[in-house]
Structure 1
Amino acid sequence: MNSSKSALQISVVGGGIAGVALALDLCRHAHLEVKLFESAPAFGEVGAGVSFGANAVRAIEGLGIGAAYQAIADRTQAPWQDIWFEWRRGTDGGYLGSSIYEGVGQSSVHRADFLDVLATELPLGIAQFDKRAVSVEQSVGQRPRVTFSDGTCNECDVLIAADGIKSSIRDHVLSGLGAPLVAPRFSGTTAYRGMIDSETLRAAYRAQGIDEHLVNVPQMYLGLDGHILTFPVKQGRLINVVAFVSDRTHPNPKWPADKSWVKPTTQSEMLQAFSAWGDAVRVLLECIPHPTLWALHDLAELPGYVHGRVALIGDAAHAMLPHQGAGAGQGLEDAWLLARLLGDPQAVETAPEDLLKIYDAIRRPRACRVQRTSWEAGELYEFRDPVIGDHEPQLSSTLASRFDWVWGHDLHKDLEDARRLLNWKATPPAL
């Protein structure tokens, strides 16, 4: 434990959105010394568009990066601004319903753009690159020590692993808990991805007599063992398209260890996968000449995110399938709570192990539930829910409300609960 006159040294391993957002917030506190280690030569995100629900937007604002996000985020234009997605049959584009969250609706951004904006706000000297973590050592009550592939080491009071689904630090946490190691698992679902110039898509729809409304509002087309989502990025100039296909022939599907999770594919292969779907889908996919194919992996629910003074956040802790648009948001919720706890001056009088245990107790049940229901959402979209199947009235009513608990989560209650469990004094009101 540190004295009240000393600074807590915090090291964040992993320079994705959650890691950079956390480091950026922590840098604002005089009682913290922050370092960020990224394995790549520079910041960079894999993927294209990412959608944020209301809960994630609140976390973004709470982390002090709301203005940066709002400057580049895309939203559905009025009068559809409260719509998260419209749900449609893939076979004919028929309307099934909408998911609506008043005052927030759907919000999305290009991953790389968001990370670029955050990185420019990070103070000089905080980030170090080409630092791939390979091992961690810590003894009871002692500071953890992380070793990097270049032979250098770093000691700190608290080590935060934000290094993604392939985290090199997760094994240390699980081993410390006496739990079996957990590796990424292939879901059996692959996704064709592409970006379309929005005016190109409008012209293609007009030529085929298809309603341009499908470009204006985020869409989700549903079908047996497949679904397709679309939403705008790059200030509406591009439409992000993800077309999912699930192979259910094997109960425990495996992805070859020597095969990349992302690879180029052909338009003809993609069109063949959706050959039984309707014109709206066909024309949409015909506008993607060079798609990529992604193998979707997630993690089993972990028995703990913390061992000693080491904590997992984001995909390192709870990588999930993208079917609720919630994965990045859960990483931001992790970052928000940790930033509020570590950023409180009472943190220097608290054993780091105790603080991280409370983070785990608050965050893990919710993140695990979001993991589990993200898989269930994919089953629902692809008519494989064991109760609902393809029964349209029940499907429509379920889709209209099933995300409310994700979006409406009270982050401040989480913080109140954490402070109570830590026996901290109430925070004085801001002047």
Structure 2
Amino acid sequence: HSTYSPHRKVMTLLNTIPEKSEPVSRDSKPRPKFRVAISGGGIAGSYLAVALSKYPDIHVNLYEAAERFTEVGAGLTVWGRTWAALSSIGVESTLRDVETASAATSPSCDGMKSAVRRCMMEKKVSEGLTDFSKYIDPVWTGRVAYRVLIPVERFPISVREDPNFVRPVKHIVRYCIADGSMMNVVGFVSQPELAETLYDSPWSTECETEEFINCYPEWEPEVLEMLKLADKPMKLAIHDLRPLPVYVSGNVALVGDAAHAMTPHQGTGAGQAIEDACVLASLLGHPSTTLDTLSCALKAYEEIRLPFANNVLMRSRLAGLLYEFNSECGDDYTAIHSILEHQFDWVDGDGVKQQIQKALTKMEDRK
């Protein structure tokens, strides 16, 4: 069994074989208009299953390799636009009532290694589109991250109040989770010259505190004091995907990390996965979507979500470079500030309601 991951990519496989026509008794449920098979029970897969469950004419199967669902990771950033998508399936009231919900799962690498994406891209290659081979596997960014959770009560007051830290090719971020009781500390170390080379070690391993500390020699005393509090940090190789040219092939749609696995520098990998699922569920559940018009729904999903999510993916990649003075701006603070001012403009762009409406319009135009 593979390890459960909150962002395990999620693809949607739509069965094109309609149910055999048989007499239906008065008391039986109507036969579904089609079946949806969801591969992966992570955030996007679970959201999609719940969202589709409100449509009685859609039969849903959710496939997850993990033996059980567990809490993994160190909290998620939930933007207002993501909150709107969660609210649409009734999650909002549950989260408001559960104080520990803030210590939710966080991104991991498993979702990037989508077998479905591999099959989709290999098929494109076999059809003569050889350039699609570069979209099969994730690419290493040349960056590793050391992540650890530390009880806030262990932090001296001065360290609690210090800002995040940035230097060339390295930076450290931290923020509170679990209702302010834990501090999530993540230190990034980059080798830009190794970007898109093969990372031939395990992508996720536990390491010693000394290794973490040794990455930041001669940094501020408060930084070293903080890092000494780390107990068995996790070392993570940061990978992402090249922006895919397609999310849909036939009746198969890529959702979440399988479509646009991204770096964590804008805190939105999970949010974009949820938006994918929200838009796709609305299209599949629409009364005009049938087995015959399924392709119109999937292409509308791709037309709306692909450019938006790919844009966020690239912005997240650029943010990581800017934070460590590795972008074309170098250490030009004025230029960096000018770009960072607009790095999160997408947050105020079309929300899920607007995206759904545009997708429905595109779907109807295709019919």
Residue in structure 2 matched with residue 51 of structure 1 by the alignment: 77
One-letter amino acid of the structure 1 residue matched with residue 69 of structure 2: F
Q: Is 1:390 equivalent to 2:331 in the alignment?
A: yes
Q: Which residue pairs with 1:23 in the alignment?
A: 49
Distance change (3 Å), C-alpha of 1:362 and 1:40: same
Do the aligned partners of 1:173 and 1:311 also contact (CA within 8 Å) in 2?
Answer: no
TM-score, L = length of structure 1: 0.71
Structure 2 equivalent of residue 90 of structure 1 = none
Matched, 1:111 2:107: no
| Distance across 1 between alignment mates of 2:301 and 2:164 | 35
Q: Could you tell me how far 1:274 is from its partner in structure 2?
A: 1.2
CA RMSD of aligned residues (A): 2.6
Of stretches 47-56 and 412-421 in structure 1, the one that deviates more from structure 2 is 47-56
TM superposition shift of 1:408 = 3.8
Q: Which digits, 9 at most, give the CA deviation of each residue in 1:158-189, with x for residues without a partner?
A: xxxxx821111112222444442310211110
Match of 1:228?
172
Moved more, 190-199 or 225-234: 225-234
1:421 pairs with 2:355: no
Aligned counterparts of 1:221 and 1:9: Cα–Cα separation in 2: 50
Match of 1:14 in 2: 40
Match of 1:37 among 48, 60, 63: 63
Q: Is contact 1:174–1:307 with CA below 8 Å preserved after alignment?
A: no
What one-letter code is carried by the residue in structure 2 that aligns with 1:199? E
Q: Tell me the CA shift for residue 336 of structure 1.
A: 0.7
Instruction: Look up the match of 1:322.
Output: 264
Q: Which moved more, 1:293-302 or 1:176-185?
A: 176-185
Provide the C-alpha distance between the structure 2 equivalents of 1:288 and 1:56, rounded to a whole number of angstroms: 31
Is structure 2 residue 121 aligned with structure 1 residue 174?
Answer: yes
Q: Aligned with 1:260: secondary structure? A: coil
Matching of residues 402-417 of structure 1 within 5 Å: 402-417=343-358
Deviation at 1:73, TM superposition (A): 6.7
Instruction: Give the letter for the 1:314 counterpart.
Output: G
Residue 294 of structure 1 aligns to a residue whose secondary structure is: strand
Whether the 8 Å contact between 1:195 and 1:239 is mirrored in structure 2 is yes
Offset of residue 335 of structure 1: 0.6
2:320 corresponds to: 378
Superposed displacement of residue 62, structure 1:
2.5
Q: In proportion to residue count, which structure has more strand?
A: 1
Q: How many aligned positions are there? A: 330
Give the whole-Å Cα distance in 1 for the aligned partners of 2:290 and 2:187.
48
Aligned to 1:246: 190
1:213 aligns with 2:239: no
- 2:73 touches 2:106 (CA, 8 Å); kept in 1? no
Instruction: Give deviations 1:377-430, integer Å, cap 9, x for gaps.
Output: 00000012212x333344445434421223543222211211111228xxxxxx
The residue type equivalent to 2:87 in the other structure is E
Against the structure 1 CA distance between its residues 316 and 393, is the aligned structure 2 distance closer, same or farther, given a 3 Å change threshold? same
- Retained in 1: the 8 A contact 2:75–2:106? no
1:45·1:111 contact (CA, 8 Å) conserved in 2?
yes
Shift of 1:278: 1.4
After superposition, the C-alpha distances for 1:24-66 in whole angstroms (9 at most, x for unaligned) are: 1111111111110001111246432222222222222223322
SS in 1 for 2:327: coil
Instruction: State the Cα distance separating 1:255 from its structure 2 match.
Output: 0.7
* Other-structure match for 1:139: none
Instruction: Output the amino acid matched with 1:221.
Output: F
The one-letter amino acid of 1:189's match is R
Q: How does 1:146-295 map to 2 (within 5 A)?
A: 164-177=111-124, 178=127, 179=129, 180-181=132-133, 182-201=136-155, 205-206=156-157, 210=158, 212-214=160-162, 219-250=163-194, 252-256=196-200, 259-295=201-237
What is the Cα deviation at residue 282 of structure 1?
A: 1.8
Contact 1:53 1:407 in 2 (8 A): no
Identity across the alignment (%):
33
Unaligned runs of 5+ in 1: 75-107, 115-162, 425-431
Give the corresponding residue for 2:6: none
Q: Are residues 1:339 and 2:365 paired?
A: no
- In 2, the alpha carbon distance for the partners of 1:394 and 1:112 equals 35
Distance 1:71 1:191, change over 3 A: farther
